[in-house]
């Protein structure tokens, strides 16, 4: 039973809306990867954890994020239906198990690229703030279990460009948010951005303080991304099943900044974390946003801890 609960926890890292479906897929049943074609050579693979992007370049395929444990091979099988080119590179947007665990099922020759803080986080695979279960079993480190296979081979700090021309991929880091290593992955020729879980969808973010996440910084990091990355028509989020736009990203930055100010003002007014969590309502202008009380409470606590420092 504990094992089932742990899996459920892994799977619900990013999006609240997909909790039940993802839980059922993860707990048993066939591992179904659903493909959405975004461009002739770019696909979004849904199911089994975070959204995966498959970018078919001239000489090989880049995969962004590899889902929950056991989903690496289903991703590889699905890619074979899309292209006969080899997978040469994985980019992980951040350290969470529902985005990196499939790495261990890819050939050991595949390059793995991440932001440098994520490389450190992937060595530890620390429990996730807001999801770790007091008294539960310690988190399993899937990379230790696989003798380090799938760990990063190449890192960047603030920006790195891979390949050129139609194959170009730009990687950015704009500061802390969901974790302290959230990579932004841009395919400039296709005008597509994969934002990972720093923008997981229209949902209260998971602020994973254990892995460097920050409720004080997330709004600024999102704004910096929206201001810096140009010429994007399509945004893949960490977990939403439909793609979004840069206008959605800008709105999400504002949503997070307003949440920070709600917490800051409430704490200054002498309110407790529990009272603020109970009081919070998503402002009406953010229609369709979800903010479960447990997530909100965890985020209020993370921000309160940060403001105390
Ligand atoms: Zn995540």
| Distance from Cα 67 to the centre of ligand 1, integer Å | 10
Q: Could you tell me if 156 and 190 are in contact, meaning their C-beta atoms sit under 8 angstroms apart? A: no
The answer, yes or no, to whether residue 134 has pLDDT greater than 80, is: no
Would you state the pLDDT for residue 263? Answer: 98
Distance 16 CA to ligand 1 centre (A): 12
Ligand 1 centroid–CA 165 distance in Å is: 30
**pLDDT digits over 2-16, tens only?**
444 444 444 444 444
> pTM surpassing 0.85?
yes
Does 21 score more than 50 pLDDT? no
Cross-strand partners of 35: 45
Residue appearing with tokens 């704009």: 174
β-pair partners for 170: 161, 186
Say how far apart CA 16 and CA 131 lie, in whole Å: 12
Does the pLDDT value for residue 29 go beyond 90?
Answer: no
What is the phi/psi pair of residue 201, to 5°? Answer: 145, -175
Measured in Å, residue 20 CA sits from the centre of ligand 1 at 17
How far, in Å, from the CA of 199 to the mean position of ligand 1?
10
Give the distance, in angstroms, between the CA of residue 267 and the centroid of all CA atoms in the same chain: 29
pLDDT at 69: 96
| Spatial CB neighbours of 222, under 8 Å, sequence gap ≥ 6 | 174, 177, 198, 199, 249, 252, 253, 256
Expressed in angstroms and rounded, the spacing between residue 179 Cα and the centre of ligand 1 is: 8
Least confident interval from 15-19, 163-167, 187-191: 15-19
Q: Give the pLDDT confidence of 179-234 residue by residue, as tens digits.
A: 999 999 999 999 999 999 999 999 999 999 999 999 999 999 999 999 999 999 99
The answer to whether residues 183 and 94 touch, using CB atoms and an 8 Å cutoff, is yes
């Amino acid at each position: 039973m504990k094992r089932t609960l742990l899996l459920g926890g892994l799977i619900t890292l990013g999006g609240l809306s997909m909790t039940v479906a993802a839980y059922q897929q993860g707990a048993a049943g066939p591992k179904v990867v659903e493909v959405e074609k975004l461009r002739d050579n770019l696909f979004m693979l849904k199911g089994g954890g975070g959204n995966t992007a498959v970018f078919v370049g001239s000489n090989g395929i880049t995969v962004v994020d590899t889902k929950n444990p056991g989903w690496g091979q289903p991703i590889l099988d699905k890619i074979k239906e899309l292209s006969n080119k080899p997978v040469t590179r994985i980019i992980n947007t951040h350290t969470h198990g529902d985005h990196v665990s499939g790495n261990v099922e890819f050939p050991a020759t595949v390059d793995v690229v991440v932001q440098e803080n994520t490389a450190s986080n992937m060595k530890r695979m620390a429990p996730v703030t807001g999801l770790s279960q007091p008294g539960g079993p310690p988190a399993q480190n899937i990379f230790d279990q696989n003798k380090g296979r799938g760990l990063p081979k190449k890192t960047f700090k603030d920006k790195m460009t891979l390949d050129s021309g139609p194959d170009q991929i730009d990687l950015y880091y704009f500061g802390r948010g969901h974790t302290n290593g959230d990579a932004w992955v841009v395919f400039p020729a296709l005008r597509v951005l994969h934002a990972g879980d720093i923008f997981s969808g229209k949902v209260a973010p998971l602020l994973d303080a254990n892995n460097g996440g920050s409720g004080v910084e997330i709004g600024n990091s999102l704004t910096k991304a929206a201001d810096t990355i140009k010429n994007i028509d399509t945004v893949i989020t960490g977990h939403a099943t439909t793609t979004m736009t840069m206008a959605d990203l800008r709105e999400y930055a504002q949503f997070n900044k307003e949440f920070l100010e709600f917490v800051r003002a409430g704490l200054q007014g002498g309110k407790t974390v529990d009272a603020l969590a109970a009081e919070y309502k998503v402002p009406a202008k953010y229609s369709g946003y979800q903010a479960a009380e447990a997530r909100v409470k965890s985020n209020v606590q993370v921000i309160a801890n940060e403001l105390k420092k």
